[in-house]
């Protein structure tokens, strides 16, 4: 069996480096335009160059998304953007729109092209079509079962790669093509500006009774009738590998460093354990799941992989997240026993936090001291984004994630 690629999201250069450190084989990022995460920090040209150089130093690939559904006014700028990417030389460019594909092929002839899930890749003839056009990979539609993906694998060339989502937020619309956000707010999901109206709570107003709002009770689950659970396949990796999937994709290009580190590390350990010994993987399934739940998440589902979801299988009856841990920060340069930290959430002297190691180990450490930006000793760091220095009972390495595990 071929070990699948573990593909991580990154919304910024800092998180790209976290993904590399915590076990990704490849990272997908977006530039400042033409990707489907306009609200992410995203990458300037200079950040892309630095990120690709950093990833390649550790043998990690970088893919750049340009997967909007383009309009006429996008095309001239997109062609120029692809010419810039030809100079930057990522390992692949991800597109969905045939027009964008043609522009990328023309302007980046030496860079692999991957076809986004937004292109509705639901069958092997579609995969073969894109192969005939020169694409090296398709990202399967999220509506496919593992049986369908395996059948696709059996009917496409051996060197045509299949990428499938293995974890993360699910879109209620078909392959992510949604008009709700554009209709309600003027911000198009197909241009990276989704406001996530599928997560909102809805009521009904009857035409002849304006202002009289009636709750929508689809059934006992409540009113969040389009709000999907998160995909999680960490306990079903053998089935995904057996289906012939070449790349396992983590959704989350809007997520924090803590989320990316936690999820990537869990899947890295699970994949490696399975290829070392299937018995070891089976014995550690609950441990992987516990690690996944130590970050922010919604309740989990296996999506469409085993069957078409029945009523209640995929819909989450709330719009809140479960918080397994709080992100404290990412360790930076040392000065003696203290290290620099851009603090993310409040923590105090005397409490115990965890140092997340890329190996999978979590080291409990007591906070022995905090200094503010002026070098003064303080008892706590109450405000997000404060530049502080911290001393712990256990010494972390530069680049380690710090978290406080919630009760």
For Cα atoms 87, 89, 94, give the angle at the middle one, nearest 5 degrees: 115
Task: Report domain extents, the chain.
Answer: 5-174+227-323, 325-405
Q: Is 325-405 in CATH node 2.40.30.10?
A: yes
Q: How far apart are CA 12 and CA 187, in angstroms?
A: 22
Q: How far apart are CA 312 and CA 229, in angstroms?
A: 10
- Written out in words, the top-level CATH class of the domain with range 5-174+227-323 is alpha beta
Closest Cα partner for 405 from 283, 293, 298, 310? 293
Q: What is the pLDDT along the chain (407 residues), one digit of tens a residue?
A: 899 999 999 999 999 999 999 999 999 999 887 865 555 567 999 999 999 999 999 999 999 999 888 999 999 999 999 999 999 999 999 999 999 999 999 999 999 999 999 898 999 999 999 999 999 999 999 889 999 999 999 999 999 999 999 999 877 665 666 666 666 677 776 666 777 776 677 767 777 877 777 666 655 544 566 677 889 999 999 999 999 999 999 998 889 999 999 999 999 999 999 999 999 999 999 999 999 998 887 888 898 899 776 645 665 556 566 777 889 999 999 999 999 999 999 999 999 999 999 999 999 999 999 999 899 999 998 888 889 999 999 999 999 999 998 76
* DSSP-assigned letter for residue 219: B
Pairing label, strands 296-297, 322-323: antiparallel
Torsion of CA 189, 194, 198, 202, to 10 degrees: -120
5-174+227-323 shares its CATH topology with 325-405: no
Q: How far apart are CA 387 and CA 371, in angstroms?
A: 9
Question: In sequence order, what are the residues at sequence separation of 6 or more whose Cβ sits closer than 8 angstroms to the Cβ of residue 78?
Answer: 34, 66, 70, 100, 103
Pairing label, strands 112-115, 92-95: parallel
Write out 150-162 in H/E/C secondary structure: HHHHHCCCCCCEE
In the numeric block, which tokens belong to residue 388?
A: 């502080």
Q: Which residue has the tokens 């289906």?
A: 243
**pTM given for the model:** 0.86
Number of Cβ within a 10 Å radius of residue 158: 7
Alpha helices in 134-277 (DSSP H): 146-154, 180-185, 237-242, 257-276
Q: How far apart are CA 400 and CA 398, in angstroms?
A: 6
pLDDT at 297: 79
């Amino acid at each position: 069996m071929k070990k699948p690629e573990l593909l991580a999201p990154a919304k910024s250069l800092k998180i790209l480096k976290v993904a590399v450190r915590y076990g990704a084989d490849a990272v997908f990022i977006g530039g400042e335009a033409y990707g489907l995460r306009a609200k992410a920090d995203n990458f300037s040209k200079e950040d892309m160059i630095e990120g690709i150089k950093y990833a390649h130093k550790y043998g990690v690939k970088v893919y750049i998304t340009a997967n909007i559904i383009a309009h006429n006014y996008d095309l001239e700028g997109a062609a120029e953007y692809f010419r810039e990417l030809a100079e930057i030389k990522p390992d692949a460019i991800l597109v969905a729109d045939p027009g964008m594909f043609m522009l990328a092929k023309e302007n980046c002839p030496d860079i692999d092209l991957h076809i986004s899930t937004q292109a509705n890749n639901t069958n092997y003839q579609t995969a073969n079509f894109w192969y005939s056009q020169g694409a090296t990979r398709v990202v399967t539609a999220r509506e496919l079962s593992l049986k369908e993906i395996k059948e696709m694998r059996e009917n496409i060339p051996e060197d045509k790669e299949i990428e499938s989502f293995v974890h993360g937020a699910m879109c209620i619309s078909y392959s992510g093509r949604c008009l709700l956000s554009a209709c309600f707010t003027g911000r198009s999901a197909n241009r990276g500006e989704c406001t996530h109206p599928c997560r909102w709570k809805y009521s009904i107003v009857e035409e002849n009774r304006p202002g009289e709002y009636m709750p929508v009770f689809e059934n006992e689950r409540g009113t969040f009738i389009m709000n999907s659970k998160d995909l999680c396949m960490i306990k079903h990796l053998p089935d995904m590998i057996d289906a012939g999937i070449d790349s396992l994709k983590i959704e989350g290009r809007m997520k924090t460093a803590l989320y990316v580190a936690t999820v990537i590390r869990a899947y890295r350990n699970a994949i490696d354990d399975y290829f070392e010994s299937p018995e070891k993987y089976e014995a550690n399934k609950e441990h992987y799941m516990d690690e996944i739940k130590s970050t922010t998440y919604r309740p989990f589902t296996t999506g469409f992989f085993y069957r078409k979801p029945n009523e209640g299988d995929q819909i989450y009856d709330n719009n809140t997240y479960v918080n397994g841990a709080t992100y404290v920060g990412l360790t930076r340069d040392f000065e003696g026993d203290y290290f620099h930290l851009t603090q993310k959430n409040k923590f105090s002297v005397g409490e115990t936090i965890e140092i997340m190691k890329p190996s999978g180990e979590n080291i409990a450490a007591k906070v022995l001291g905090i200094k503010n930006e002026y070098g003064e000793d303080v008892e706590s760091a109450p405000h997000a984004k404060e530049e502080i220095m911290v001393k712990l009972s256990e010494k972390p390495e530069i680049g380690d994630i710090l978290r406080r595990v919630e009760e």
